[in-house]
Structure 1
Amino acid sequence: MAISSLSFACRPSFPFRPSLFHRIQKVRFSSVAAIKTLDVQENVIKGNSRNLGDFKAPEWRKLSSKELGIGNSLISGPTKKVLNGLKKNGYEVYLVGGCVRDLILKRIPKDFDIITSAELKEVVRAFSRCEIVGKWFPICHVHIGDTIVEVSSFSTTGRKLKVGLRNDIGCPIDCDEKDYLRWKNCLQRDFTINGLMFDPYKRIVYDYMGGLEDIKKAKVRTVIPANISFQEDRARILRAVRIAARLGFRFTRETAHFVKNLSHSLLRLDKPRIMMEMNYMLAYGSAEASLRILWKFGLLELLLPFQAAYFVRDGFKRRDKRSNMLLCLFSNLDKLLAPDRPCHNSLWVGILAFHRALVDQPRDPMVVAAFCLAVHNGGDILGGVNMARKITKPHDTSFHELTKPQDLDSEVLINEVVDFAASVKQVLSWMTDEHYVSLAMAEYPQAPYSDLVSTFFFLFLFPFPSEAMFGFDLSHPITKN
């Protein structure tokens, strides 16, 4: 029912939720809030060459998890088993990163990350199904039933720090040995709101990077100066977009400046990393807000030039709060998804192709409805046509992708649906064709051309033929039966 509902329930929805606990106020949870980023003039950001020696970490503090409204009941069962297994063996264990942030915000974490005082080999010995993965930054994958729980070690993160760029930052005052280990690990996090550590046994949240204050202010801020942070890992630009979109947070002034001005460094990222980050943006319930932020900061034309070209032709401004059909499609998809309930990447790729086909050739609303219902019913076009004729709710007449309704008889309607299905399949082919990608880029001349996008879609679509994405074989004529 996903795609069928996307075609008609297209009024934008910008829900606002109340504050979640008494210490964190005025946190906005909407796609509108996510794009209200501070205006930045070129002369506002000073010290672009600022190094880590100029960086002063905020005062650290620890708070009761009860005071922050965190209960252990929110921790998943598999995660608890791993925590308990390590604790019983005498090791220190903490939850760390985005899961702590989400627990504070009463959100369901996408996953739980554990860090422990145990060596990775000791973690392997503690669990029957566990292996060490990763070369640059090894961690343990602990298998609990069908769930994988990731466990890292303080000793591993300590070795990583020695080869990083953060050696000049002084240790915070009044730190004992355990505080120093926790602080050193949090220092390696990407954003302050991900630099929180939670001891579920002592029920204490440790904040060495000012993350709680930034949660309170609904801000995304890099742990170290943004220019250096994004040089360490260019993909953090996309992670910043994803986090801001999902939480409805805004970038700090410095972070916003370098998201925009270092955006072209994304072209040097490995394609699999870009695909992973794009999937996190579009498949986990914050696609609409992600697209808005990508457009606002000039990233959309680098990653999705077909969609950027559509925004240009639609007259969509960088700071536009209105909506269009593409944003409405993803807004309705977002309502069906959550961080712990994502869709398959072939669905959002299919939506991009579906919309592009309508942009290239607007269709009668009844044709679109019948197509969507046929997809929902496994390719039964006749059934889709019969169901579409029962729709009484009027379509949104503001969408240029839909023509004025006509009184189509069943035979013509079926043929139109077949033709539309073939158009969607053709668009899927174009999205992996260098020539058509270059044409799309030409519609947005400010964007430099690269093979990033064609490779991106090819790798995504190769395992997912169009018939698998849309429920019927588009390569053969579709009959009434």
Structure 2
Amino acid sequence: MPRIYARAEHAISRSLVSENALKVLYRLKKAGYEAYLVGGCVRDLLLGREPKDFDVVTDAHPEQIRAVFRNCRLIGRRFRLAHVHFGQDIIEVATFRALQSDQPHGERVLENGRILRDNVYGTIEEDAFRRDFSVNALYYNISDFSVVDYVGGMDDHKAARLRLIGDPEQRYREDPVRMLRAVRFAVKLGFTIHPDSAAPIPKLAGLLHEIPPARLFDEVIKLLLSGYAVQTFEQLRHYGLFGALFPETERCLAREPDGFPLTFLAKSLEQTDRRLADDKPVAPYFLFAALLWEPVRARARRLIESGHQSALAYQDAGNEIITRQLRLIALPKSIGLPVREVWSLQPRFEMTQGGRPFRLLGHPRFRAAYDFLLLRAETGEADPELAAWWTRFQVASEAEQRAMVRTGNRSPARTRTRKRRTRKRSAPNAPAS
């Protein structure tokens, strides 16, 4: 039996629910169906947060929902859903899911324990036990404004605890993305993952390789562009999930020469969080460029040592790393192309004489590549004097720029390097001792 929390026992008010969500709830109720708010919106309302969206669940089947709302479209094959449109606002309406597949309506398709399709309809109680985490299985009843709890979600909510419903290993095998969701929700909400729910994750992290790369791209975006990228990154590494998503980067981080790869990546994630907190735009391609930079840098270094020209080495290394990463996470061209450009422009910053600085300054991706250079310099991987030269070059007058490109970047480190090279070239002609 469920625990019913009356209106006086919780903090949810109708005034906090979107007008369009209320319209959907009341129209379904008027048509003779049960209707509840469910999932993240109920969880967030109980926390005093403003939900990003409002999801409705009902005993009406998708076709019945469409009959109630003329502004409704049915979507999805894996899970059949109804989208009720109010201009740009969309209220998602789902039908109660069943626990068993021997129902007269719908279908369920599984492969190796993973759910591929699930359109089997049931009762609200079955629906509650089908949801992933207990705090996401709380139902706000529009009929009496109560919260309905079948799985102890309110207790977990009060304890700031994230707990999977059912056997954790089985639930992760049904949908391995639940491991990523566990980390994302725990970090976002400030909750701890229940020990029973956390224990299987390192062992099952490799199951993520069975997930379509396009879906993993969406999940990575949610993980790292939610404003908590630093903490999320730490938790992903803690549970072995980062290595499943970015194996080549993880191998580089495990080596950590001089601590640079970890410092650089942590700084880029910190910068992303700061921009989101300040309501500034964030380019996902810049984040992916940082995530994969160390494998590219290591591969380019090996190519240069084998005789490749620097610019071509970075270009070839970038293509290799991106090609292998695409097998795990599908990067659209709108991200993959600028990522490669940011990488390939890095060695061109070393060329500070003649007309090359002017041509680089006019490149469409210059600003992002320059910001990338600053990040490298800040974490000790690039020459700070070089970054400072480019900072001055951008704001200098035309006459000052022409004077700068005649002398180039005369940093102490570059001067010492030139002196060493000069001694090496003169050594064969030096008199024998």
The TM-score bracket by the shorter chain reads 0.5 to 0.7
3-state DSSP of counterpart to 1:432: helix
Report 1:268-279 matches (<5 A). Answer: 268-279=210-221
Report 1:48-447 matches (<5 A). Answer: 60-154=2-96, 157=98, 162=103, 181-314=123-256, 324-337=263-276, 345-353=284-292, 428-434=318-324
Once the two structures are superposed, what CA deviation does each residue of 1:137-173 show, in whole Å capped at 9, x if it has no partner? 211011211122210123x5477685779xxxxxxxx
- Once residues 11 and 220 of structure 2 are traced to their aligned partners in structure 1, the CA distance between those partners, rounded to angstroms, is 32
Contact 2:322-2:336 at 8 Å conserved across structures: no
* Uncovered stretches (5+) of structure 2, i.e. residues with no partner: 110-121, 302-309, 349-355, 363-433
3-state DSSP of counterpart to 1:209: coil
- Once residues 423 and 64 of structure 1 are traced to their aligned partners in structure 2, the CA distance between those partners, rounded to angstroms, is 66
Kindly tell me: are residues 84 and 313 of structure 1, through their superposed partners in 2, closer, same or farther at Cα, counting changes over 3 Å? same
Kindly tell me: are residues 454 and 121 of structure 1, through their superposed partners in 2, closer, same or farther at Cα, counting changes over 3 Å? closer
3-state DSSP of counterpart to 1:69: coil
Contact 2:58-2:95 at 8 Å conserved across structures: yes
- Once residues 90 and 315 of structure 2 are traced to their aligned partners in structure 1, the CA distance between those partners, rounded to angstroms, is 36
In the TM superposition, what is the alpha-carbon distance from 1:199 to its structure 2 partner? Answer: 1.5
- Once residues 204 and 261 of structure 1 are traced to their aligned partners in structure 2, the CA distance between those partners, rounded to angstroms, is 40
In the TM superposition, what is the alpha-carbon distance from 1:110 to its structure 2 partner? Answer: 3.3
Kindly tell me: are residues 427 and 195 of structure 1, through their superposed partners in 2, closer, same or farther at Cα, counting changes over 3 Å? farther
- Once residues 102 and 55 of structure 2 are traced to their aligned partners in structure 1, the CA distance between those partners, rounded to angstroms, is 19
3-state DSSP of counterpart to 1:149: strand
Identity of aligned residues (%): 29
3-state DSSP of counterpart to 1:455: coil
- Once residues 426 and 129 of structure 1 are traced to their aligned partners in structure 2, the CA distance between those partners, rounded to angstroms, is 50
3-state DSSP of counterpart to 1:198: strand
Kindly tell me: are residues 302 and 353 of structure 1, through their superposed partners in 2, closer, same or farther at Cα, counting changes over 3 Å? closer
Contact 2:188-2:228 at 8 Å conserved across structures: yes
In the TM superposition, what is the alpha-carbon distance from 1:293 to its structure 2 partner? Answer: 1.1
In the TM superposition, what is the alpha-carbon distance from 1:353 to its structure 2 partner? Answer: 4.7
Letter in 2 for 1:308: E
In the TM superposition, what is the alpha-carbon distance from 1:463 to its structure 2 partner? Answer: 3.4
3-state DSSP of counterpart to 1:223: coil
Contact 2:213-2:326 at 8 Å conserved across structures: no
Kindly tell me: are residues 291 and 423 of structure 1, through their superposed partners in 2, closer, same or farther at Cα, counting changes over 3 Å? farther
Letter in 2 for 1:330: L
Kindly tell me: are residues 261 and 480 of structure 1, through their superposed partners in 2, closer, same or farther at Cα, counting changes over 3 Å? closer
Q: Which structure has more RCO (C-alpha within 8 Å, separation ≥ 6)?
A: 1
In terms of fraction of residues, the more helix-rich structure is 2
Contact 2:74-2:81 at 8 Å conserved across structures: yes
3-state DSSP of counterpart to 2:123: helix
- Once residues 141 and 189 of structure 1 are traced to their aligned partners in structure 2, the CA distance between those partners, rounded to angstroms, is 20
Counterpart in 2 of 1:5?
none
Question: Is structure 2 residue 331 aligned with structure 1 residue 460?
Answer: yes
3-state DSSP of counterpart to 1:214: helix
Contact 2:318-2:343 at 8 Å conserved across structures: no
3-state DSSP of counterpart to 1:101: helix
The normalised TM-score by structure 1 is 0.58
Contact 1:60-1:208 at 8 Å conserved across structures: yes
Letter in 2 for 1:215: H
Contact 1:428-1:466 at 8 Å conserved across structures: no
* Uncovered stretches (5+) of structure 1, i.e. residues with no partner: 1-58, 166-179, 318-322, 363-418, 435-452
Letter in 2 for 1:219: R
The normalised TM-score by structure 2 is 0.64
Q: How many residues align?
A: 326
Letter in 2 for 1:127: F
Which moved further from structure 2: 241-250 or 78-87? Answer: 78-87
Letter in 2 for 1:62: I
Once the two structures are superposed, what CA deviation does each residue of 1:322-365 show, in whole Å capped at 9, x if it has no partner? x8332232233224448x99956435324435677788999xxx
- Once residues 15 and 317 of structure 2 are traced to their aligned partners in structure 1, the CA distance between those partners, rounded to angstroms, is 47
